[in-house]
Every structure is written in C-alpha cells, then in structure tokens.
C-alpha cells in the first residue's frame, strides 16, 4: 500500500514539476523598460560550475563587460534597444545546455551566444536551428559545432584552421623540421588541432618524431611524457593544449626541454597567471588572435576593465565573448534594425552577418556564409613574463 501511495505521490510531484516548468508564461513579445527602451535579450550558455567552469565564467564576464560598455555609451539606447545579458549554467553537459537554451527561449531571448564548449554548442545549435535565431558562439571551435545551422556563426577560429595555420607558420619561417607533439587525447580542442596539424605537416614536409598524450584523469604528472619528448631529438614541441596543462608541463619539464622551441595556439593564453615561475614560459611561441599583454589600445582598456571588475586577467574566451556582443550590435546596425523597425528581426540579422566587418579585440573580422570568421592570427612570444609580438626574422 505504501507503494500505491508513493506512486500517487509520484503523479502529484510530476504534475508539480510540470507546473513549475510550464507555469512561467512564454515571452514572445518585446519588453519595453521604464525608460522606453526595448530590451534586447542576449542569451549565453556555458559551464559556470564543475570542471570547466573557468571557460563559461570567462565568456560570461567578457560578454557582460561589452553589454555594460555599450549600454553606458548609449544612454538613449542603441537605436532604441537596451542590451540585457542572461547567462545560464550548463556544467559543460550537452543535455543541460539544451535545457538552458529552452529556458532562455522561454524567457524571450532574441540573440543567442550559442554555448561555450564545442560539444554543447553543437547541441544548442541543433536545438535552435528551427527557431531561426542568430547563434554566435564565442568559443565553440570544433568544425561541427556550428555546421548544423545556417544561423550559426563563431568568433573564434575553428580548430582545424588553427592546426593548419600553425604548421604553415612553422614551415614558412623554418622554425623546425622535426616536431614533437603533446596533447590531451580526450579533449576535442586538442585532438582537432593535432589532427589537422599532423596532416598539414605531411604536406609541408615537417617530420613528427614524437607524439605524447594525456587524459583529463592523468593530467597531473607529465614527467613520463616529458622524458620521451626530451629524448626524441625534436627541434620544436607543438602544444595544442590549454594553459593549465601547459603550465604543468612547462613546470615539470624544468630544463629538460632546453634547446627545443615551444609552440602553441590560442588555448595557451592566460598561462602567466597559472604558473608561479614565469621564467619557465620564456621563449614560448603562441599563434593567437588575442593576447592580454598586447599593446593595442582597445585590448588594454578591456583588460583593465576586466581586472577591475573580476580581479583576474581575461583570456581568449572572454575576449571572444566581448567581440561577439559587439558583432551583434554591428550586425543590427548593418541590417538597419531599430526599436521601431524590427520586423523579420532574425532573418535580417542573420543576413547582415556576412556583410559586416568588425574591429574587435581579436582582430578585424568578417564572416563567411558557413559562419566561419576570417581574421589574422599573430604569433606572440613570451619574454620576461610578457607576451610580445614575435619577429620570425630574428
């Protein structure tokens, strides 16, 4: 009988849950605030808790700074719009990201920042394709992340683009002929970069002499891998990994890898805050569209604001998110969307994406119809605890 009651209770609870979830009404209409400004809700998704929380929080913080900046600069609104950011936690899981996307749609999201990690971005893009909404992911870098929808664009480079660009750069400036690679075998960013890098190396005649990997559950001790790489006789170690693992790698390497060049991609940005002995980073090359240590005025102002507000140095995720918000505004201007003229909002906004040019923190960007950005990566070199523009002719 106990069971009977628990089942009856189950029913009641299920209905209760439903009422929680279906109770809040759908907001399809535009909201106008007390100052007469139309609210443009930008929805973001990313891991704010759990193992990947740093990425999601960077994206949220970067986007928030851009939103605040734009609203402050336009007290009477951007063509009558006030930007509102709603950022939801996904814990890095695709299923939670799609529920979060559902909630944002329920709450009246007008433009989506996709999601933060590649896998969850792909899920969100698939879930949102039929809505026609513009999805501009700051950081979903796997090719497949945005290939599922015509309305999906990204701010960051795709992984293969970076892998190929790295190999090209190394070949172009003759940095090395023998290369060792160290990457995370269970991380799609690392694997995506590694695979295209390896393919391009074959084309350019660069020999890969050693490949060492790690997984997220063995990311604490790299001494075995370091010893192998040290013994491989490579001229250069390619590190398509994130800053935290790179910090561990370089610290544990000590002076074992002296004489080898170190080369990485945008994942390495922010390494200085994760390593205590910054002299270990000296000589590390990084092919990246964004470097927090850059002398560009817009980057410096962004970094200063970010440090003041959040107490840390922004990384590429934050910069990409900042640029994403500015891109949305640029696309709205291009499409001629104003608070009074916003019929066919989604369609006009998406169409404008391929026509705009945005000067952002991560360079000057234009977009292809596939949603891929075209922008330049710079090679930066760490010297004396700072990243400076690398001069390959030296």
Partner 1 sequence: MIQLVETLISGLTLGSIYALIALGYTMVYGIAKMLNFAHGDIIMIGAYAVIVSVATLRLPAVVAILISVAVCTLLGVTIEFLAYRPLRQSPPLTVLITAIGVSYLLQNVALLIFGSEQKSTPRMFQIPDLKLGAVTISGVALLTLGVTAVIMIALTLFINKTRMGKAMRAVSEDKEAAELMGISVNKTITVTFAIGSALAAVASIFFGATYVYIKPTTGSMPGIKAFTAAVFGGIGSVPGAMLGGILLGVLEQLSKTYISTLWSDAIVFGVLVLVLVVKPSGLLGKTVREKV
Partner 2 sequence: MGETVKTTPKLLPAGKSGIRRFLNADRVAVLAVVVAYAVVAILVYTGSATRQLMNMLISVSCYIVLALSLNLVVGLLGELSLGHAGFMSVGLFSGCTMAVLLHDTLPVILCLPLSMIVGGLAAALVGLLVGLPALRLRGDYLAIVTLACGEIIKNVITNLDIDGTPLRGALGIDTSSIRMSPTELLPYAIVLVLVTMLVIMNFKRSKHGRAIMAIRDNRIAAEATGVNVTYYKLMVFVLASLFAGMAGVLYGYSLPTTEASLFDYNMSIEILVIVVLGGMGNLGGSIIAAIILRVLPEALRDFSDYRMLAYSILLIGIMLLSENKRFKSWKSQVSLGSLWNKVRAKFRKKTPAVATADAVAEEPNHTDSPKGGDGQ
Residues binding partner 2 (CB under 8 A): 1-11, 13-15, 17-18, 20-22, 24, 26, 48-50, 88-89, 91, 93-96, 98-103, 105-106, 119, 122-123, 125-127, 130, 142, 144, 147-148, 184-188, 190-192, 215-217
Alpha-carbon span 148 to 98, nearest angstrom: 15
Nearer to partner 2, 146 or 257 (CB): 146
What does DSSP assign to residue 215? -
220 binds partner 1 (CB under 8 A): yes
Alpha-carbon span 196 to 203, nearest angstrom: 11
Burial-class residue 188 by CB neighbours within 10 Å (0-12, 13-18, 19+). Answer: middle
Per-residue binding letters, 223-242, with partner 1 (x by CB under 8 A)? xxx-xx--x-----------
Measured in degrees and rounded to the nearest 5, phi and psi for residue 138 equal -70, -35
Least distance (Å) from partner 1 to the CB of residue 90?
Answer: 14
Alpha-carbon span 288 to 378, nearest angstrom: 6
Least distance (Å) from partner 2 to the CB of residue 205?
Answer: 24
Other Cβ atoms within 10 Å of 22 Cβ, number: 10
Q: Are 182 and 249 in contact (CB under 8 A)?
A: yes
Least distance (Å) from partner 2 to the CB of residue 75?
Answer: 27
Interaction partner, residue 300 (partner 1, partner 2, none; CB < 5-8 Å by kind): none
Sign of CA dihedral 373, 375, 381, 382: negative
Which of the stretches 26-34, 100-108, 112-120, 216-224 binds partner 1 when contact is defined by CB under 8 A? 216-224
Degrees (nearest 5) of the Cα angle 45, 264, 371?
40
307 binds partner 1 (CB under 8 A): no
Interaction partner, residue 10 (partner 1, partner 2, none; CB < 5-8 Å by kind): partner 2
Q: Are 379 and 389 in contact (CB under 8 A)?
A: yes
Interaction partner, residue 101 (partner 2, partner 1, none; CB < 5-8 Å by kind): partner 2
Residues of this chain that bind partner 1 (CB under 8 A): 48-51, 53-54, 56-58, 185, 212-221, 223-225, 227-228, 231, 243-244, 247-248, 251-252, 254, 256, 270, 273-277, 310-312
């Amino acid at each position: 009988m106990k069971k009977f009651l628990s089942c009856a209770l189950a029913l009641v609870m299920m209905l209760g849950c439903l009422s929680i979830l279906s109770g809040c009404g759908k907001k399809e209409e535009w909201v106008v605030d007390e100052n007469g400004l139309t609210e443009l809700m930008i929805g973001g998704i990313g891991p704010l808790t759990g193992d990947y929380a740093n990425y999601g929080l960077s994206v949220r913080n970067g986007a928030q700074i851009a939103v605040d900046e734009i609203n402050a600069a336009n007290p009477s609104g951007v063509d009558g719009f006030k930007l509102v950011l709603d950022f939801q936690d996904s814990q890095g899981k695709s299923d939670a990201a799609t529920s979060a996307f559902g909630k944002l749609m329920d709450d009246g999201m007008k433009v989506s920042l996709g999601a933060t990690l590649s896998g969850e971005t792909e899920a969100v893009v698939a879930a949102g394709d039929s809505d026609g909404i513009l999805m501009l992911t700051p950081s979903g870098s796997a090719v497949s992340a945005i290939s599922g929808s015509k309305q999906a664009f990204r701010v960051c480079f795709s992984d293969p683009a970076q892998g190929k660009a790295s190999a090209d750069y190394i070949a172009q400036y003759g940095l090395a002929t023998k290369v060792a690679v160290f990457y995370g075998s269970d991380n799609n960013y690392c694997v995506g970069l590694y695979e295209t890098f390896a393919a391009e190396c074959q084309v350019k005649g660069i020999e890969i002499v050693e490949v060492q990997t790690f997984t997220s559950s063995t990311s604490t001790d790299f001494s075995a891998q370091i010893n192998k790489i040290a013994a491989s006789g490579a001229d250069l170690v390619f590190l398509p990994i994130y800053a935290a693992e790179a910090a561990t790698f370089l610290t544990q390497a000590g002076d074992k890898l002296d004489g080898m060049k170190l080369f990485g991609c945008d994942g390495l940005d922010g390494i200085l805050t994760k390593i205590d002995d910054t002299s270990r980073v000296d000589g590390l090359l990084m092919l990246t569209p964004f470097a927090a240590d850059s002398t560009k005025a817009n980057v410096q102002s962004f970094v200063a604001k970010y440090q003041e507000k959040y107490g840390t140095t922004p990384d590429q995720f934050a910069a990409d998110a900042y640029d994403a918000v500015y891109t949305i505004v640029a696309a709205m201007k291009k499409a001629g969307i104003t608070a009074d003229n916003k019929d066919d909002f989604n369609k006009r906004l998406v169409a404008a994406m391929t026509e705009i040019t945005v000067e952002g923190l991560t360079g000057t960007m234009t977009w292809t119809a596939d949603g891929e950005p075209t922008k330049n990566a710079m090679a930066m070199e760490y010297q004396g605890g700072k990243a400076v523009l690398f001069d390959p002719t030296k």
